Amino acid sequence: MGMNQSKPSASWGRLHRRLTVLGLFSGFAAGVWAADTPENPVGLQGIMPAEVPAGLQPEEFAALDGNWADWSGKTSEAVTGLFKWTGSAAEQQAALDAIQARVATMEKALGDARYRSLHAPLANLSARLGMYADLGEAMLATLALDPQAARNKHLDQLKASLSAAANRLEGDLATVSGGSAWAPFAKLPELKAALASGNSESLVAAAKATHDKIASRDKLTDESQKAFLNRDAFTALAKAAEAYATAVAAPAPENAGAQLRPLFGELLSAATQWQATGESAAAAKVRDVFRQIRALSPDGGDLLAAALQKHVFNFNLRIVASEEFLSRLLSEARTESSQVRDYVLGASVGGNQTTTTTLGVDVKPDNSALRFNLVLNGVVRSNTAGATSQATIYTSGYHTFNSVKGIRFNGETFETFPATISVAASNTTTGATTSYSGGLFGGMAERIAMREAAARRPQSEAIARQRVSDRVLPRFNSEVDSSFANAATKLENELWVRLRGVGLEPDAKQFQSTETEGIISTRLMADGELGGNSPNLGMVPAGGATGLIHESLINNSVDRIGLAGQTLSDEQLAAKLEDFFTKAFGREVKFPKRENVDEEAASTSFVFAEKDPIRVNMTPSGLQLVFRTGFQREGRDPIPETEITVPLTFEIGESDIVIRADQPQVAGSASIATRGVIRKKIQSSLPDRTVTRKIMIKGEQKEVPAYITRIQILEGWAVVTVR
């Protein structure tokens, strides 16, 4: 596989960028932006590092050994050559193309179970090299843009996004009882009229009015109204309105290329630092520099935004659940018995029947929602006697049915569709009695009665099919509709409101499904923060469910606990964490009390740093917990702030998982004695812990036990699989 893979066909967006670079840089754009002279650097000269960055050195590629050794060696040579950034813009683009082909090979291998032992180095190298390649392409393409044409296209795209957001809100309000009454609040009628008018000035005014009105929701005192106006559709419209109005008002900058070049360098440097350390200052720098780039770029930074979206603005929590796993959550088996009282084909029918049903899930593809069918399979067994004045016919019935009801969840509302049903009915006549039974002509009369019953069998089975359908469909529709009617409200009140209260509500959510899996993606990212990248979902094992947790999710969450600048003993730290997680999870969280704690360690308190007091780094070597803290000691001199790195490992046993904290690594020039104190304190606060592999996952009707089977640490991600 790895050595001879051809590059996948480029997307239209990437093809457009490359043609732009190859064409415009050699002609028109060269005159607009800069001449190819030593005084004016070409392409990415002076923007990208002149030396190979950490994490892409030859020793990192050497981890791809065995059959990959020759390929990895040549790739390392190509990377070394790439960062020279010599030649024309077209030659630089050709070098990027070659690197993209190598990244594509690694991405393909990540989806191949044969290379599972190499997933860690493949993920690490593809993520790091991919970021340089994608950002480099986007920067090169941005420098090659025709300023006026790019600005016009950008404004058209923002207008289209604003129109789509307005339509989305209108559609969302239509699904809520009384929701349309909120359209005037958001100035939606005026905005749609301005969009239809084609008048730029009136559209800017309407966009500003819509944004300001939605932004005023925070001043409301009614919490239910405030929660309703915080729906994603309102937020998306406010952002789209602000983006359009801001872009139209911004004047086109002069000599933007010269101003962009140093900003591109700053952006790349900050993104690289954040990728390596997770430091909040680096994240804030990326966001700040990118805002400046957006204001200067003719396309509003759209080309660069697409690359950043892939690598630092993406979702930082993904859950991939197989169809089999979802079926376990929603499946149900029932057996019900009842008496039969009916009148069929002139006969009074009585007897008993038993209905056995099983409920399953059939996932369906949908790129904008989680869509699945609830599939109800059933068997009806009956024993009846149909009596007329001439005879009584005894019948055994065996009827099977299959009913399908569609469900669609877009993250805000559940939509249910009418169920369909197919029934296969089979009636078998098992006997007959007549007034002649027991007499001379009894047998003959019974045979005549049974022949008559057999002749009517098609009619009786058609009636049986209708009876099953009439019984099953209304109940199936009613029960499912009722179950999901309040599910979205329940999700809002029992999850999102709770997470919102502690600052953990995602700022972006996406629900999708394929033929075999449901995929939920969320992002926790506020202003000044960054998110995840795009993991290769091909490395998610089939079956069960897998959670992919990016280090940015953990670090952004830790920042909301409020440890920065705090002086806390172990007990105070535990109490603060317990309170936070209790509020977040909606149930009491208590950490087990530790025994035989070292007296000196127990009397030493943490003095957490004002910035990044705790950080989690998921690196090629595993998961690392980084403390930035000083220590306050009773009756002794304090220990100044330092950085302590603690590697964590996970050992999965038959029933438990052991979490081990390895030897703490203390940065700086502290004395041997001070390092000993710090290590003792950290080891006392982070003893080995044993937790159960078993977790209970709550479905709509029941809780399902599942077991953690695998924990893998990749570049920036923890991949946890449960079955």
Q: Do residues 50 and 109 both lie within one domain? A: yes
Q: Do residues 129 and 80 both lie within one domain? A: yes
Q: Do residues 178 and 125 both lie within one domain? A: no
330 neighbors 701 (Cβ within 8 angstroms): yes
The per-residue pLDDT for 362 is 97
Q: Do residues 602 and 664 both lie within one domain? A: yes
Helix H, strand E, coil C: the string for 678-702 is HHHHHHHHCCCEEEECEEEEECCCC
Task: Give the distance from CA 542 to its chain's centroid.
Answer: 17
**Would residue 626 count as lying in a domain?**
yes
**Would residue 377 count as lying in a domain?**
no
Q: Do residues 555 and 666 both lie within one domain? A: yes
The per-residue pLDDT for 701 is 66
**Would residue 595 count as lying in a domain?**
yes
352 neighbors 470 (Cβ within 8 angstroms): no
Tokens of 66: 């065995």
Helix axes of 280-296 and 302-311: crossing angle, nearest 10 degrees: 160
| Consecutive H or E run containing 645 | strand 639-652
**Would residue 110 count as lying in a domain?**
yes
52 neighbors 132 (Cβ within 8 angstroms): no
Lookup result for tokens 């789209």: 240
244 neighbors 222 (Cβ within 8 angstroms): no
Q: Do residues 18 and 117 both lie within one domain? A: yes
- 7/101 Cα distance (integer angstroms): 5
**Would residue 484 count as lying in a domain?**
no
pLDDT beneath 70, residues of the chain: 1-39, 699-701
533 neighbors 314 (Cβ within 8 angstroms): yes
- 15/308 Cα distance (integer angstroms): 18
Render 536-554 in DSSP notation, one character per residue.
-GGGSPSSSEEEEEEHHHH
The per-residue pLDDT for 576 is 94
Amino acid at 2: G
Quote the DSSP letter at residue 45.
T
- 139/92 Cα distance (integer angstroms): 12
Lookup result for tokens 């084909």: 345
Q: Do residues 202 and 56 both lie within one domain? A: no
- 202/193 Cα distance (integer angstroms): 9
Q: Do residues 639 and 698 both lie within one domain? A: yes
The per-residue pLDDT for 700 is 64
Which of 221, 249, 277 finishes a domain?
249
- Three-state DSSP class for 373? strand
Tokens of 200: 């730029």
369 neighbors 514 (Cβ within 8 angstroms): no
Ramachandran assignment for 114, one of left (phi > 0), alpha (psi -120 to 50 degrees), beta (any other): alpha
Q: What is the dihedral of CA 118, 119, 125, 130, to 10 degrees?
A: 140
The per-residue pLDDT for 223 is 83
CA angle 218–612–679, rounded 5-degree value = 145
Tokens of 614: 């705790």
| Consecutive H or E run containing 643 | strand 639-652
Torsion over CA: 180, 524, 573, 637 (sign):
negative
694 neighbors 705 (Cβ within 8 angstroms): yes
**Would residue 7 count as lying in a domain?**
no
Domain hosting residue 651, numbered range: 499-722
Q: For residue 556, how many other CB atoms are within 10 A of its CB?
A: 23
- 182/230 Cα distance (integer angstroms): 12
The per-residue pLDDT for 434 is 86
The per-residue pLDDT for 29 is 35
The per-residue pLDDT for 30 is 34
- 294/260 Cα distance (integer angstroms): 10
Render 259-299 in DSSP notation, one character per residue.
HHHHHHHHHHHHHHHHHHH--HHHHHHHHHHHHHHHHHSTT
Tokens of 474: 């209304």
Lookup result for tokens 């002649």: 436
Which of 277, 298, 313 finishes a domain?
313
Domain CATH code at residue 609? 3.15.20
The per-residue pLDDT for 446 is 81
Which of 313, 339, 363 finishes a domain?
313
**Would residue 561 count as lying in a domain?**
yes
**For the chain, how many residues are written?**
723
pTM (2 d.p.): 0.84
Burial class (CB in 10 A: 0-12, 13-18, 19+), 40: middle
**Would residue 339 count as lying in a domain?**
no
Q: How many domains does the chain have?
A: 3
Nearest to 45 by CA among 78, 87, 96, 90: 87
Tokens of 309: 């979206």
Q: Do residues 139 and 155 both lie within one domain? A: no
H helices of 53-88, in order, are 58-61, 69-82
Q: For residue 77, how many other CB atoms are within 10 A of its CB?
A: 12
Q: Do residues 245 and 258 both lie within one domain? A: no
62 neighbors 72 (Cβ within 8 angstroms): yes
Tokens of 456: 């009517």
Q: Do residues 212 and 297 both lie within one domain? A: no
Nearest to 53 by CA among 21, 95, 85: 85
Q: Do residues 171 and 264 both lie within one domain? A: no
- 361/372 Cα distance (integer angstroms): 7
Helix axes of 119-143 and 89-110: crossing angle, nearest 10 degrees: 150
Quote the DSSP letter at residue 384.
E
Task: Give the distance from CA 658 to its chain's centroid.
Answer: 28
